[in-house]
């Protein structure tokens, strides 16, 4: 909420979190139907109980090593094919958006104003839901990557914990547990609203949280949870649980993936997306009680729609469109409309991100913005100009063998920059290998006068 102060150049206000939206495209029931065919009944029941429980009523635990050891004994090829078929047929839909509210404010008769306690509880439910989702995502990714990981495990360099194959195997292991939550301009707004609660939650759970700031903005947040979110029953005895399942949640802002002059609405229209961004009278959101008593959007009332924070008034065309939707959906108050507005926002953001992701995948060479953890135009441009393009110009392969010319081997090793080559990954020389072989015929340089 923002209000005008006597000095017109200064806006003062309080930011409050009324609700949170999360777009989660993984269809839980359809995935469980597939896992039921391939996982042992005991294992499947554990999985089902955990991922289908309400975020604030989880009374079971789940352990990664148990699932991994069992999956390694099963041929999951057909399961992998079914999962790929299912995920390839998913389309963007509002039904995948989950909303989280203060206490029970989503019910028409409930009105609870936000405070630190109930806001933290809402964020905890939000974080727990992401963790439940990541359980399924981790299983899916491991089933997909299992053949590749097993292949890398055959390399002696992996057991020696060094070399290129070990680094690649490590990165594959990281991907399994990584989870990315994106926002648009979240570094200035969303991250600030949830970070205080996230810090409290992670501290109480004895888990890690890292904040990365860029100027006054919180550019990234990393939450590392190594144990289950779990609620003890009052009557339960204290016992040691097998509840280790890591989640590395990256909260990233994708604002810099598009031009600084482009709003979320403009980007959606640029991509010709079927979802459009709605408008909301933010100045009216001074309390839950107030927005639950407003039964009309009053499109012809300029004062009602004046935005003191940006110092402008929403266009009449946008207000009339919002009022039409308000009547068509038969919303009873501004709170119900606000929930729908949030759902539309999440759907639009997901559509934009999916479009950007697919467009980068179609480039040559392929760029996966998630695996590279690149969420800005500048970082993608840097990789393109200083890593990808120069690597195309290398005529001879310089890795991963060590050559028997000590001096040249040292020079090559020192020359490695930006990941262009990996001559520091040393292995034994052998006749069948052609890598670096051309250097063995070079004469040693004369470094000093005779």
DSSP codes, 32-64: HHHHHHHS-HHHHHHHHHHHHS-TT-------H
Residues 126 and 167 grouped into a single domain: yes
Task: Give the Cα separation of 157 and 404 in Å (integer).
Answer: 19
Residue 262: pLDDT above 50? yes
pLDDT per residue over 63-87, tens digit each? 999 999 999 999 999 999 999 999 9
Q: Is 1:13 a contact under the CB 8 Å cutoff? A: yes
Higher-pLDDT residue of 404, 55? 55
- If one counts every other C-beta atom within 10 angstroms of the C-beta of residue 382, the result is 14
Higher-pLDDT residue of 136, 184? 136
Looking at residue 391, what is its pLDDT?
61
Q: Determine, yes or no, domain membership for 263.
A: no
Residues 129 and 17 grouped into a single domain: yes
Q: Which of 232, 257, 282 is the last residue of a domain?
A: 257
Cα 250 to chain centroid, rounded: 5
Residues 62 and 152 grouped into a single domain: yes
152's tokens: 């890398």
Residue with tokens 């707004």: 189
Higher-pLDDT residue of 254, 18? 18
Mean pLDDT of the 292-306 span? 93
Q: Determine, yes or no, domain membership for 370.
A: no
Q: Determine, yes or no, domain membership for 368.
A: no
pLDDT per residue over 235-249, tens digit each? 555 555 688 999 999
Q: Determine, yes or no, domain membership for 188.
A: yes
Q: How would you label 343-361 residue by residue, b for 16+ Cβ within 10 Å and e otherwise?
A: bbbbbbbbbbbebbbeebe
Those residues with Cβ within 8 angstroms of residue 97's Cβ, 6 or more apart along the chain or in another chain = 21, 22, 23, 24, 342, 343, 346, 347
121-130, 218-227, 431-440: least confident range? 431-440
Q: Which of 235, 257, 279 is the last residue of a domain?
A: 257
CA dihedral 29, 221, 417, 392 (to 10 degrees): 40
Q: Determine, yes or no, domain membership for 182.
A: yes
End-to-end CA distance of the chain: 81
Q: Which of 208, 226, 257 is the last residue of a domain?
A: 257
Residue 192: pLDDT above 80? yes
Residue 325: pLDDT above 90? yes
The DSSP call for residue 371 is T
49-58, 243-252, 271-280, 290-299: least confident range? 271-280
Phi, psi (5° rounding) for residue 106? -70, -15
Residues 282 and 429 grouped into a single domain: no
Residue 445: pLDDT above 60? no
Mean pLDDT of the 261-284 span? 87
Residues 296 and 422 grouped into a single domain: no
pLDDT per residue over 14-36, tens digit each? 778 999 999 999 999 999 999 99
% pLDDT > 70, the chain: 79
Residues 204 and 128 grouped into a single domain: yes
Q: Determine, yes or no, domain membership for 319.
A: yes
- Three-state SS for 296? coil
Residues 286 and 224 grouped into a single domain: no
- Residue 274 — pLDDT band, cuts 50, 70, 90? confident
Residues 68 and 23 grouped into a single domain: yes
DSSP secondary structure letters along 73-109: TS--HHHHHHHHHHHHT----GGGEEEEESTTTTSTT
104-108, 253-257, 316-320, 428-432: least confident range? 428-432
Checking phi first, is residue 393 left (phi over 0); if not, alpha (psi -120 to 50) or beta?
alpha
Looking at residue 446, what is its pLDDT?
52
Looking at residue 73, what is its pLDDT?
93
Q: Determine, yes or no, domain membership for 129.
A: yes
Residue 161: pLDDT above 70? yes
Q: Is 300:320 a contact under the CB 8 Å cutoff? A: no
Those residues with Cβ within 8 angstroms of residue 229's Cβ, 6 or more apart along the chain or in another chain = 55, 58, 127, 128, 131, 132, 205
Q: What ranges in 178-263 are assigned the alpha helix state H?
A: 190-204
Residues 173 and 288 grouped into a single domain: no
Mean pLDDT of the 182-201 span? 88
pLDDT per residue over 115-146, tens digit each? 999 999 999 999 999 999 999 999 999 999 99
Residues 174 and 320 grouped into a single domain: no
Looking at residue 2, what is its pLDDT?
46
Question: How far is residue 378 from each of residues 178, 259, 271, measured CA to CA in Å?
Answer: 23, 11, 21
- For 318, counting Cβ atoms within 10 Å of its Cβ (0-12 exposed, 13-18 middle, 19+ buried), the class is middle
* Containing structural domain, residue 315: 270-361
10-24, 29-43, 82-96, 426-440: least confident range? 426-440
Residue 421: pLDDT above 70? no
Residue 190: pLDDT above 80? yes
Domain count within the chain: 3
Q: Is 292:335 a contact under the CB 8 Å cutoff? A: yes
Mean pLDDT of the 287-302 span? 94
429's tokens: 């020389």
Higher-pLDDT residue of 154, 143? 143
- Residue 400 — pLDDT band, cuts 50, 70, 90? very low
Residue 413: pLDDT above 90? no
Residues 330 and 399 grouped into a single domain: no
| This prediction's pTM | 0.82
Task: Give the Cα separation of 151 and 401 in Å (integer).
Answer: 20
Looking at residue 424, what is its pLDDT?
37
Residues 216 and 309 grouped into a single domain: no
Q: Determine, yes or no, domain membership for 383.
A: no
């Amino acid at each position: 909420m923002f209000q005008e102060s006597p000095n017109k150049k200064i806006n003062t206000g309080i930011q409050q979190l009324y609700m949170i939206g999360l777009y989660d495209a993984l269809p839980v029931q359809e995935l469980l139907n597939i896992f039921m065919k391939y996982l042992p009944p005991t294992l499947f029941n554990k999985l089902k109980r955990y991922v289908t429980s309400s975020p604030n009523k989880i009374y079971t635990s789940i352990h990664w090593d148990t699932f991994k050891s069992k999956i390694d004994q099963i041929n999951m090829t057909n399961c992998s094919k079914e999962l790929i078929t299912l995920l390839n047929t998913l389309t963007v839909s509002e039904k995948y958006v989950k909303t989280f509210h203060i206490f029970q404010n989503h019910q028409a008769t409930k009105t609870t104003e936000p405070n630190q306690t109930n806001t933290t509880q809402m964020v905890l439910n939000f974080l727990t839901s992401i963790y439940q989702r990541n359980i399924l995502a981790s299983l899916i990714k491991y089933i997909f990557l299992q053949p590749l990981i097993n292949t890398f495990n055959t390399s002696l360099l992996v057991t020696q914990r060094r070399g290129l194959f070990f680094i690649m195997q490590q990165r594959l292991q990281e991907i399994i547990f990584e989870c990315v939550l994106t926002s648009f301009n979240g570094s200035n707004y969303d991250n600030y609203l949830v970070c205080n609660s996230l810090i409290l939650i992670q501290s109480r759970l004895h888990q890690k949280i890292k904040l990365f700031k860029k100027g006054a903005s919180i550019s990234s947040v990393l939450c590392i949870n190594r144990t289950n979110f779990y609620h003890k029953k009052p009557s339960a005895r204290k016992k040691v649980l097998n509840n280790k399942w890591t989640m590395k949640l990256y909260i990233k802002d994708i604002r810099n993936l598009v031009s600084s002059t482009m709003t979320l609405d403009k980007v959606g229209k640029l991509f010709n997306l079927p979802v459009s961004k709605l408008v909301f009278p933010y100045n009216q959101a001074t309390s839950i009680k107030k927005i639950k008593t407003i039964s009309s959007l009053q499109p012809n009332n300029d004062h009602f729609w004046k935005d003191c924070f940006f110092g402008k008034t929403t266009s009449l065309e946008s207000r009339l469109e919002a009022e039409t939707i308000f009547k068509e959906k038969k919303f009873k108050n501004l709170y119900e409309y606000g929930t729908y507005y949030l759902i539309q926002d999440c759907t639009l953001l997901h559509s934009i991100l999916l479009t950007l992701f697919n467009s980068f995948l179609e480039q040559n060479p392929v760029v996966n913005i998630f695996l590279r953890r690149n969420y800005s135009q500048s970082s993608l441009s840097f990789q393109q100009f200083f890593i990808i393009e120069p690597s195309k110009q290398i005529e001879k392969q310089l890795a991963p063998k060590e050559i028997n010319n000590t001096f040249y081997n040292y020079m090559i090793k020192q020359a490695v920059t930006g990941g262009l080559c990996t001559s520091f990954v040393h292995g034994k020389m052998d006749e069948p290998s052609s890598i670096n072989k051309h250097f063995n015929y070079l004469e040693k340089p004369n470094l000093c006068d005779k």
